[in-house]
Structure 1
Amino acid sequence: MDFRLTEDQRALRRGVRELLARRFDREALREAVAEPCVDRGLWRELGDAGFFALCLPEAEGGVGLGLPEAVLVFEEAGRVLLPGPLVATHRAAGSVPGAAEGAVVVTSVDEGLVPWLDEADVVLGDVGGAVPVRSVDPLTPLHRVPTTVERLPAADGVLLLAAEQVGSARATTDMAVSYARQREQFGQVIGGFQAVKHLCAGMLVRVELARAAVWAAAVTGDPVEIAGAKLLADDAAVRNARDCLQVHGGMGFTWEADVHLHLKRAWVRAELGMTAARAEETVAAGL
């Protein structure tokens, strides 16, 4: 099986990266942190670009691509910490009018949590008794709902969350390497110190392992492989953000740095779609 990207897939990833660089740069990220909301203009641009209708058949007005292409797109969204209920709106493209075009914001109940409930036009699932909870991530407002029935998470939604985690893990790896090449201590750049080299190397190993698992699961669609990919992606996103903080030292803990935002988003995503406990049980049952 050949997991190398085709030219069309590379072009798709490049196009999404360019769109996000133009519409959601660091300044826009900081504005979103100050005042969390769904940027309706950007949401419509994503719809026009086919972000939400990517897996919808062409006969239904979609792009007609598959899960392998979707994970590439969501990896780019995770890399820049794009806010909003992206996965829920993407999954609703074929069933909720306006979702595919980005005209409607859709959210859903996920492991007893509802992201962006106040901003959503459509909510999938029972949100009776929903109460706001303080989210560790300033870019992901949350509500909690009382739940007594456990529903199996949608496999494609789990994988798209994992893809976002991979994008975040890649971003923190790049941030750590860039800082290690610039920051000087004791008369030399800290990237020359063995301990820092080991941290950065470990980050790269984790992100590439998680990416390979996510891409492979996107091709096979196997629920057990998707659960394993989510486990690896959650681990890579959280641990890479922590190691990136370590490389940055005291600077990494300041509000001006973006490292903490990746760590906080990684913590929240790890509780959505499929928690580690559920993923471990799924993998164990498969073995």
Structure 2
Amino acid sequence: MTQTLLYTEVEEELRAAVRALLADRLPPAAVLKRVEGSPYDLDLWKTLAGEIGVAGLLIPEEYGGAGASAAEVGIVLEELGRGVAPVPFFTSSVLATHALLQAGAGDLLAELAGGERTAALAVSFAASPYAPGRGAALSLDGEAVTGTVTNVAGAEVADVLLVPLDGQLYAVRDAQVEVKPSLDLTRPIATVTLEGRATPLGPCDLAETLRFGAGMLASEQLGVAEWCLDTTLAYVKERHQFARPVGSFQAIKHRLADLWLDVVRARAAARGVIVDGSPRQVAVSQAWNAAVAVHAAEEALQLHGGIGMTWEHPIHLYLKRAKATEIALGTPGDHREALAVLADLPGPE
């Protein structure tokens, strides 16, 4: 387990590889062009999975994975957040993989390790460790799982759907997936209707999987916030008004200094949950990072002036990603309420 909040040399090498690939293949401007059609870039995903090996980071070496830790996963999520990259890493290689590891489903893990196949956890993206069944109405009848799950992320590109039900995990390869409008244009959601045979895989603690996912989501939110801060800093240095760079005005300096402090704290929170994945630390990281990502995107939009309000600039993709992840796997309010209980602090009367 990582015992420091600092990044290791190996982690920085992984970061450089992912960042270079995204800059070459799918910079934010290119993402913007994709969202009007089919946002997922599966060719990019194959490169990320096959050449860099991100799909199998959490999968043990015996199943063809890298046997890495949450630290490496966090690095990848930071970079995918910086690029609002439309790839199924979080849904397949984090959430679904964690559930499969619990179930001990070695055959499916081996299929996911190389990225040739992807999986999605048939759970509402609005569910949380404190309300894992939200958005699901499912029943088990013999070998068939029937019912619907709303707001499922990653379902449309998944080769297999993983259905947690009554403490067990089931694999379903045939289901009706209906894509629904989503605020986050780079991560579509769908309503999944299940009416077919399900293969039991093993036990699954859904709340624990969602807690792990919520903790890792803090790294993606950090990446979103960092891109917004870096891009805004560069812009206010170049944009002139009254024959001076906009960034030289004291009010702008103060806003960006405050934002920089928020992002530094977000980095500590994201790294903290990798060192300590306890329920308390997960609640801390999500209660802070979800709000910081939204704040950073809002500041970026405002400080870019008129261009920030246009469809042609990718800032709105970051604001939408930030707002969508703010309500994913538990809102900041949900996590603060949980933290109050975990820290034995009395709530308001």
Superposed pair shares fold, TM > 0.5: yes
CA contact (8 A) 1:105 1:119 kept: yes
Does residue 280 of the first structure (1) align with residue 336 of the second (2)?
yes
Matching of residues 90-129 of structure 1 within 5 Å: 90-91=93-94, 92-93=96-97, 95=105, 96=108, 97-108=110-121, 109=123, 110=125, 111=127, 112=135, 113-125=151-163
**CA pair 44-129 structure 1, distance change in 2 beyond 3 A:** closer
Partner of 1:185: 241
Counting strand residues as a fraction of each chain, which structure ranks higher? 2
TM-superposed deviation, 1:28? 2.8
Partner of 1:138: 185
Q: 1:52 aligns with which of 44, 50, 55?
A: 55
Matching of residues 122-271 of structure 1 within 5 Å: 122-125=160-163, 132-144=179-191, 152=207, 154=209, 155-271=211-327
TM-superposed deviation, 1:160? 2.0
Does residue 88 of the first structure (1) align with residue 91 of the second (2)?
yes
TM-superposed deviation, 1:59? 2.4
Distance in 1 of aligned mates of 2:288 and 2:160: 31
- 2:120 is paired with a residue whose SS is strand
**CA pair 153-263 structure 1, distance change in 2 beyond 3 A:** farther
- 2:66 is paired with a residue whose SS is coil
Q: 2:39 aligns with which of 37, 40, 51?
A: 37
Query: Can you give the 5+ residue segments of structure 1 that lack an aligned partner in the other structure?
Result: none
Q: Name the amino acid aligned to 2:306.
A: G
TM-superposed deviation, 1:132? 4.6
Aligned length: 284
Distance in 2 of aligned mates of 1:129 and 1:224: 37
Query: Identity across aligned pairs (percent)?
Result: 34
Distance in 2 of aligned mates of 1:57 and 1:271: 31
> Under a length normalisation based on structure 2, what TM-score does the superposition of the two structures give?
0.75
Distance in 1 of aligned mates of 2:231 and 2:117: 34
Partner of 1:19: 21
Q: Name the amino acid aligned to 1:21.
A: A
CA contact (8 A) 2:57 2:69 kept: yes
Distance in 2 of aligned mates of 1:131 and 1:45: 27
Does residue 66 of the first structure (1) align with residue 69 of the second (2)?
yes
TM-superposed deviation, 1:179? 0.7
Query: Can you give the 5+ residue segments of structure 2 that lack an aligned partner in the other structure?
Result: 128-134, 136-150, 165-171, 194-205, 344-349
CA displacement, residues 34-61 of structure 1 (integer Å, 9 cap, x when unaligned): 2133222222112112212112222222
- 1:114 is paired with a residue whose SS is strand
TM-superposed deviation, 1:251? 1.5
Distance in 2 of aligned mates of 1:124 and 1:278: 25
CA contact (8 A) 1:153 1:274 kept: no
Distance in 2 of aligned mates of 1:68 and 1:40: 24
Distance in 2 of aligned mates of 1:173 and 1:153: 32
- 1:29 is paired with a residue whose SS is helix
Distance in 2 of aligned mates of 1:286 and 1:51: 33
CA contact (8 A) 2:152 2:190 kept: yes
TM-superposed deviation, 1:27? 4.3
CA contact (8 A) 1:71 1:159 kept: no
Distance in 1 of aligned mates of 2:11 and 2:309: 36
**CA pair 7-40 structure 1, distance change in 2 beyond 3 A:** same
Distance in 2 of aligned mates of 1:117 and 1:88: 9
